[in-house]
Structure 1
Amino acid sequence: MNWTEVNRFFPDASPLQYEDECRDITTFASFQDSFTILDREAGERMLDLGQGFMSYWAIISGEYEIIELNEDKLTVRGISSPYNGDAPLAWYYSFVPEGDIVDDYQELTTQFNSLVWADEFDVDGAPNPQNWGYDLGSNNGWGNQELQAYTNSFDNVKVENGELIITSLINEVGDASYYFDNITLSNSGQTNSTTLEDFEGSVTFGGFGGASATTASNPDVGAANGSSNTGRLDKPAQAEVWAGIFFESSGPIDFQATPIVSMQTYSPKVDAVVKLKIEDSNSPPLNDGSPSVFYEVDQFTTVENGWETLTYDFSNAPEGNYDRIVLFFDFGATGQNSYTSARIKSENLFEFTYGRVDIKAKLPVSQGTWPALWMLGANFDQVGWPNCGEIDIMEQTGQDKTGVGATVHFPNSEGTGPSFITSSRPIENSEEYHVYTVEWRQDEIIFAADNEIYHRVTNVSELPFNSDFFLILNVAMGGTLGGLVDPNFTSDQMVVDYVRVYQ
């Protein structure tokens, strides 16, 4: 039996909020029922997916708590651990057997018929500079753990034969070595510190996923790091994206007293994800054999072929007798993978309030590609995200190429973080041309694919969707919605026939 996701609730939802406010989003899933159900001693029933995912938006791997399970409905609760070290978040999902929901889409009747701006991409070369500028670089993963660097190179973005072509490429795949040294612990104020490991003596390392480690000579002795010896992690080209190493401490580490960890790193590339994980090696094992009590925090390298110090905050780590340090370098990439792509925008060139946007596009099919056609509030530089608002006309995850999604992002009512409203739908042959539309009205925002409505959001004056926005077209690699990149990936494209705006 397959299951179809019918509703989903936002992070931090209590069970009561879930019952009262869960939205019907009628989204698409391709979820086989060959899962494993675990009965816990405390009476909880858990659904174990291993490393798999449940649906287009239910992208937490591992175990879900079963809230309800019968022949007509499955409701689960999942816990995600944000990569930036914030407290875990609760998500709720409901599914019904596939076929219980009929895709009966209404046709969009537009209120906007006057063409006010368009790019038909009819002149070969670079995108028209009167219409488009560029976002460039890696920007620490663009807030989403993305793996690519954006460029304005013809290899990544060009207009050819009446089409805009955005190409994601892998630059190099080879063996990579990363160095690490002088791991210290300090209190929250960083007024007192102690050395956990300086690698000047003998250290016993373990490795997994194809990675290995040893002590090695310092590759760059100098003012930044005068040590003679360091740790070195070797990650071959054929290593898994989750490859890493670990070593044991001499005894349990008190992360309540000394939650701040500093570590010197030396990387051959910038914006490599350096994940530092702490484990209680004596806690009950998970299904994959790893300890059940752990906590991990990500940082990004900012220096190429030079030493820098990365700092990690473990203040939110659950209680445990932590005695194992686990390191991942360039997490999410095999070997020394380096991706490039393009992100073009109409910021300061064309900005507008209300109207209809039609974008005719073909999407990439490779696992790990994350194409998006979207808009951002023109006051982004002044108020930041999410206060500026974001309207995602279309985005597609890297793990499900049979559907597309549409989302609006805005600040929550307390003003302490983001909220969003989202939906998705199946789409056949996304690698072929489809027209993705947003109808942005003063009282409503409507999303359609091939003129079939699949998502509606009420717009009110309190939301940031009543002032100018600009357009963005891009393809990301990996990250929160891209997921793991196909280890055999070399290149893929998003092709756009036209962008048209009506008012």
Structure 2
Amino acid sequence: MKISPRLVIFFAACLLAACANAPRPDAPSVATDVSTTLTERGWEMVWNDEFDGNTLDRSKWAPEVSCWGGGNQERQCYLDRDENVIVENGYLHLRAFADDVSGPSVHMEHPDYPGETVSRNYASGKVRTRDLAYWTFGRIEGRMKLPGGQGAWPAFWMMPQFDVHGGWPLSGEIDIMEAVNLGAACFDCDAGTVENRSSGALHFGKKPPENEYVTKRRPLTAQPGQDGLPRDQFHSYAVEWGEGRIDWFVDGERFYSVSSDDWYTDAVDKSDDPNAPFNEDFYVMLNFAVGGAWPERDNETGLDPEILPSEFVIDYVRVYQCAQDPETGRACMMDD
């Protein structure tokens, strides 16, 4: 694992782990079991935010300010203001609502940022660890409650810190959790007629429009000790990322695994670097998109403005390193 100089290195992580791993009162009992299993497998926490206090810890997170639409025709502006990025009662809240707002027309890494000013009809929140904390290999986990409705698109994902192999998707993208349109009509779900799935994915390959991805969706299941439908409950989402393999988990259950045989980057010959691009530093992001190409083409289609205001609620984000195998992370991953 590599980490930026501005982040205090957690040499005391093992002293903090007992407190940080303790589930909140509304956490399902599986949380304790998962934490115990992680310790037994050798995962050691090296970075975390439990969102205690009443302000965003800006040594760990930087809000994004942009209205460019994420390359997906999203309808919101992401703004750095208290109405959209809130820490209170032990949770991070990314809130989206209708509002006439303006902001940068290009993303924050664009050479012309902020570019022209554009106006949108929705405001939302997005935070990221870019330039503050980033890792190569590890277990990245968050516990969160997702917003629902036609057009809601929460995401917990990772992007390359340095774009070693070039712009998207040559340097890769790791989607730990995405969900669209939860609670809307679903015409291709395995069970029921209502959307109730989250997904994990990788993006890689060649420059658009020849970019590629792999993905799998998983129905959310009811959690003990929590009220409401599965899609309205808190769930934990994680990836375990090692050299040549990435596994996805929901509530401690592995549901998807991808190996380096399934990915590549057009920037590097596969025989020279078989694990590229997923062997470089990646940072973490959390955001609540309003509308966009994916949610608006699926389920009931379009954006239902009645779903707003709404919020994406995050209990914690934790990053673990494989103590006995930090160079590859594989020793702590589950058997194939």
> TM-score, normalising length from structure 2?
0.66
Backbone CA RMSD of aligned residues = 2.8
Q: Which amino acid aligns with 1:136?
A: V
Report the number of matched residues.
240
Q: Cα–Cα, structure 1 residues 382 and 128, in superposed 2: closer, same or farther, change >3 Å? A: farther
Corresponding position of 2:60: 131
Match of 1:500 among 294, 318, 323: 318
Greater fraction helix: 2
Indicate if the aligned counterparts of 1:144 and 1:479 stay in contact, CA closer than 8 A. Answer: yes
Q: Measure how far apart 1:347 and its partner are.
A: 0.5
Corresponding position of 2:14: none
Corresponding position of 2:304: 486
- Write out aligned runs for 1:266-345 (5 A): 338-345=121-128
Indicate if the aligned counterparts of 2:134 and 2:161 stay in contact, CA closer than 8 A. Answer: yes
CA distance in 1, matches of 2:312, 2:174: 19
Corresponding position of 1:405: 199
Where 2:147 maps in the other structure, the secondary structure is: coil
- Larger relative contact order (C-alpha < 8 A, sep ≥ 6)? 2
Where 1:383 maps in the other structure, the secondary structure is: coil
**Runs of 5+ in structure 1 lacking a partner?**
1-106, 173-267, 273-301, 306-336
Where 1:380 maps in the other structure, the secondary structure is: coil
CA distance in 2, matches of 1:270, 1:131: 24
Which segments of structure 1 move beyond 4 Å, counting only runs of 4 or more?
107-112, 268-272, 302-305
Q: Measure how far apart 1:367 and its partner are.
A: 1.7
Q: Cα–Cα, structure 1 residues 338 and 501, in superposed 2: closer, same or farther, change >3 Å? A: same
Corresponding position of 1:117: 47
Query: Is the aligned partner of 1:368 residue 2:151?
Result: yes
Q: Measure how far apart 1:362 and its partner are.
A: 0.1
Q: Which amino acid aligns with 2:253?
A: E
Indicate if the aligned counterparts of 2:67 and 2:118 stay in contact, CA closer than 8 A. Answer: no
Q: Measure how far apart 1:454 and its partner are.
A: 1.2
Greater fraction strand: 1
Q: Which amino acid aligns with 2:169?
A: P
Corresponding position of 2:96: 168
Indicate if the aligned counterparts of 2:200 and 2:215 stay in contact, CA closer than 8 A. Answer: yes
Q: Cα–Cα, structure 1 residues 425 and 447, in superposed 2: closer, same or farther, change >3 Å? A: same
Where 1:118 maps in the other structure, the secondary structure is: strand
Match of 2:215 among 415, 422, 432: 422
Match of 1:442 among 231, 240, 243: 243
Q: Cα–Cα, structure 1 residues 117 and 303, in superposed 2: closer, same or farther, change >3 Å? A: closer
Corresponding position of 1:469: 282
Deviations 1:413-435, CA, capped at 9 Å, x for gaps: x9973111100011132221100
Q: Measure how far apart 1:381 and its partner are.
A: 8.4
Indicate if the aligned counterparts of 2:142 and 2:315 stay in contact, CA closer than 8 A. Answer: yes
Q: Which amino acid aligns with 2:85?
A: V
CA distance in 2, matches of 1:417, 1:455: 24
Indicate if the aligned counterparts of 1:170 and 1:489 stay in contact, CA closer than 8 A. Answer: no
Indicate if the aligned counterparts of 1:134 and 1:152 stay in contact, CA closer than 8 A. Answer: yes
Q: Is 472-481 or 108-117 further displaced after alignment?
A: 108-117
Deviations 1:95-124, CA, capped at 9 Å, x for gaps: xxxxxxxxxxxx997555100000010121
CA distance in 2, matches of 1:138, 1:376: 19
Deviations 1:426-476, CA, capped at 9 Å, x for gaps: 113222110001000112100010011111100363431001100000010
Corresponding position of 1:148: 76
Q: Cα–Cα, structure 1 residues 365 and 120, in superposed 2: closer, same or farther, change >3 Å? A: same
Q: Measure how far apart 1:271 and its partner are.
A: 9.3
Query: Is the aligned partner of 1:454 residue 2:255?
Result: yes
Q: Cα–Cα, structure 1 residues 454 and 382, in superposed 2: closer, same or farther, change >3 Å? A: closer
Where 2:246 maps in the other structure, the secondary structure is: strand
Q: Measure how far apart 1:147 and its partner are.
A: 0.3
Indicate if the aligned counterparts of 1:410 and 1:463 stay in contact, CA closer than 8 A. Answer: no
CA distance in 2, matches of 1:121, 1:150: 20
Bigger radius of gyration, 1 or 2? 1
